[in-house]
Chain A
Amino acid sequence: MNVVEVEDLRVHFSRRRGVTVRAVDGVSFTVAPGETLGLAGESGSGKSTVARALLRITDPAGGRVRIGGRDIAGLRGAALKTFRRQMQMVYQDPYDSLDPRMRIGATVEEALIVRGLPAGQRPARVRELLERVGLPAALATRYPHELSGGQRQRVSIARALGVDPAVIACDEAVSALDVSVRAQILNLLKDLQEDSGLAYLFISHDLSTMRFAADRIAIMYLGRLVEIGTRDQVFGAPRHPYTQALLAAVPVPGARRTGPRVRLAGEPPSPADPPAGCAFHPRCPLAEEICRTVRPELAVKRGGQLTACHLAPEPERDSEVTP
């Protein structure tokens, strides 16, 4: 059974003068235990809002979210607390999310209190958690400012693990780290997953990191998924022109450039006033008349992934496999 099931999720924000921004506009996906689903897209695409809605930090305007088989809409009080043990979040900047006045040990212990672990068992468990994320247990007496960025991110992960969650949302969790430290944290996340069957919702704007971290990848544009498939499908043979442009724009070390980099002019339009038809059509080099009027739905295209594009090639008869 899937640990995360999201169906037609909608998140709206009200702005002044009654303008409603559809930050997330009908998003559906699942995450299986032990699986990493990557959520990629440019700033303003709604990818972080999806994670916040899943954690009930933001309340959805519509759709259904099941975490661990349980519908999270309407959860209150103790039930909401119990649910939050199922799903945890690790943020981009651990310095913002760790209390600077609390020792590392106390920060991790908080999670154990939430979980209801008796006081006598907590110190041993704190040591165990720190060691599990590759930190010496002696660090428990230190404060966040005494740690390096990578160590702080390990503490955030230890704290998230403290409640024994089934799924962790990593929101740009390695983006602020130095390149040489980033690889350590990515490897740690994989180790933890293999040990305990954790699922990750891995949000990142960095596509090379995404390719390593994620088993399946969903590409978001202006609040909607435009493509979702396995890593090999999305990176190997992307079907949506937006995915193609996004991948082509990644500067790869050593790739000699011939001609301009740009495949995609302009910037994403405001989600407060999305274009009619396919939201990508004003920037799409292939757009035709139908793209300006009819919004394409996600459908299986050639290669097997789901793509929301009128012009993506249809599947050949023998390869109609849903990812």
Chain B
Amino acid sequence: MDALLDVDDLVVRFATPNGDHTAVRGVSFSVAAGERLGIVGESGSGKSVTAQAVMRLLGPAATVESGAVRFEGRDVLAFPRDELRRWRGAQAAMVFQDPLSSLNPLVRIGRQVTETLREHLGMDRGAAAVRAAELLAEVGIPDAAARLRDYPMTFSGGMRQRVAVAIAVSCSPRLLIADEPTTALDVTVQAQVLDLMDRMTAELGTAVILISHDLGVVSTFCDRVLVMYGGRVVESGTTEEIVGAPRHPYTRALLGSIPAMTGPLPRRLPSIPGSPPQAGARPPGCSFASRCPLAEDVCHEIEPRMEGGVACHVATAAGERP
């Protein structure tokens, strides 16, 4: 199957007061039409920066140093301004953790939904208003037509996130990137929003990239998972492989540190010492080596390459499965 989105050896660098810092260090992946890809990682893993680079939403301090982002074979990083504007929203859309950051608090909900429809689909005011009400009703906003006149602040967090999803899918995009879309929501509302994304994307055949720190959320939604650590992909595979037979010591430790909802509990949780690496100086070798229970000398010296779905000197050599 041809890839809808193809990211090749992406490197993103940030200028900080303490010098430059490479947040994304050679990330490659592709997503096919209708596929759901999960990107899992902790703070500083580079997962959100990767998404922002794909959408060309990086802030002024960040630059794509090298690599390519291709959408249906077209070079996204070379899009001129007006082509970028046509592409974003119509063909590729994004949903953020905090819908208030994508909704303008001073503009009525109705206008924010119709704006996208008018700009990308060329609808007139009346048709856009009718469609906007339909969209809000589809995402489960009660009394949708009347609520078009309300401001975002009068909506609950869950309702705002529904509106953000409605806007994102309003032009039937081919690609939807959702960055921690349910992290700020209660668990029952999270279930509602994930169901909504399920339904909308299944109906439209949209490819989805779901970015989350929560392996539970990702594994109930995605076909395939990338695990990121220290700006790189350390493991990739189908959801079954990643969750059922993780190979990278980091993926295993991450899964092991989540308390089970049923069955016996350990007296102490298996935990990973230290914290994820943040911006700044990076020792040579594998980023995870200093926290890894299996690290050998080579791990501190040479950065492991991605081979057969895992970037680890030890896991590949041992080939062990839990």
Contact = CB atoms under 8 A, between A and B. Distances in A.
Interface of A: 42-43, 148-151, 178-184, 186-187, 190, 205, 207-209, 211-212, 235, 245-247, 249-255, 257, 260-265, 267
Q: Which 6 A-B pairs have the closest CB atoms?
A: A251-B216, A212-B259, A183-B271, A183-B257, A254-B243, A261-B191
Contact of A253 (B43, B186, B216, B253): B216
B260 A208 contact: yes
A170 B270 CA distance: 21
Given A180-B253, A183-B271, A261-B191, A251 B276 contact: no
Contacts, number: 129
A235 B198 CA distance: 27
B77 interface: no
A255 B219 contact: yes
B192 interface: yes
B62 to A, nearest CB: 22
Interface stretch (B7-15, B95-103, B261-269): B261-269
Given A183-B257, A205-B187, A208-B260, A254 B275 contact: no
B261 A249 contact: no
B259 A43 contact: no
Nearest to B189: A267
Given A184-B273, A260-B195, A251 B42 contact: no
B42 A178 contact: yes
B42 A208 contact: no
B244 A254 contact: yes
18 contacts: A150-B275, A178-B213, A178-B275, A179-B213, A179-B215, A179-B254, A180-B291, A181-B276, A183-B271, A184-B273, A211-B261, A245-B188, A246-B187, A249-B190, A253-B255, A261-B195, A265-B192, A267-B186
Contact of B187 (A180, A207, A253): A207
A76 B317 CA distance: 66
B127 to A, nearest CB: 30
A207 B261 contact: yes
Contacts of B186: 42-43, 205, 267
B42 A183 contact: no
Contacts of A190: 267-268
B259 A250 contact: no
B26 to A, nearest CB: 22
Interface of B: 42-43, 156-159, 186-192, 194-195, 198, 213-217, 219-220, 240, 243-244, 253-255, 257-262, 265, 267-273, 275-276, 278, 291
B269 A212 contact: yes
Nearest to B158: A267
Contact of A254 (B190, B219, B291): B219
Among A180, A235, A247, A261, find the residue whose CB has the most chain B CB atoms closer than 10 A. A180
B45 to A, nearest CB: 9
Contact of A252 (B42, B261, B267, B273): B261
A208 B259 CA distance: 5
A249 B216 contact: no
A148 B216 contact: no
Nearest to A260: B195
Nearest to B271: A183
Given A260-B195, A262-B191, A250 B261 contact: yes
Contact of B42 (A43, A180, A245): A180
A182 B261 contact: no
Nearest to B217: A251
Contact of A209 (B194, B243, B259, B262): B259
Contacts of A252: 216, 220, 260-261
